């Protein structure tokens, strides 16, 4: 996790669970910046399953819709999130976010192949 300028940042890979397929399909990744003091669970370490629950609760429906469109996910947003454990995104968060939600979260989204 990176902490900078009043935000906590983490990067996640996004996998789409497709009915009838054995493994989820990788769709891309994103960096999210959450304003400090707004989501204490974002600061904690979690298991794979716990991160999925935390992000599905943290993300507002409009944020999920935006991610769904940018990552070309199915309409039901049946996604799994995998914490990116390498801190290779410091340069990314030093740039302007690709979009910012009304709740103040910042996003940089990278579809597979971009």
Query: SS3 letters for 60-72?
Result: CHHHHHHHHHHHC
Strand pairing category for 2-4 and 79-83: unpaired
pLDDT 10s digit of each residue in the chain, 114 long? 999 999 999 999 999 887 777 888 899 999 999 999 999 999 999 999 999 999 989 999 899 889 989 998 875 667 889 999 888 899 999 999 999 999 899 999 999 876
Strand pairing category for 99-100 and 106-111: antiparallel
pLDDT at residue 93, as a whole number: 94
Specify the number of domains making up the chain.
Answer: 1
pLDDT at residue 24, as a whole number: 86
Name the one residue in this structure whose structure tokens are 């910046």. 33
φ and ψ of 16, to 5 deg: -105, 125
- Domain range for 59: 2-111
C-beta separation of 41 from 97 below 8 A: no
pLDDT at residue 114, as a whole number: 67
pLDDT at residue 77, as a whole number: 64
C-beta separation of 35 from 28 below 8 A: no
């Amino acid at each position: 996790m990176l902490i900078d300028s009043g935000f906590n940042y983490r990067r996640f890979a996004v996998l789409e669970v497709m009915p009838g397929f054995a493994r989820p399909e990788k769709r891309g990744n994103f960096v999210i910046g959450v304003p400090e003091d707004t989501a204490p669970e974002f600061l904690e370490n979690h298991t794979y399953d716990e991160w999925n629950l935390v992000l599905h609760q943290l993300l507002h429906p409009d944020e999920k819709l935006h991610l769904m469109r940018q990552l070309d996910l199915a309409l039901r947003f049946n996604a799994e999130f995998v914490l990116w454990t390498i801190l290779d995104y410091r340069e990314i968060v030093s740039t302007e976010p690709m979009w910012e939600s009304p709740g103040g979260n910042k996003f940089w989204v990278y579809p597979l192949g971009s």
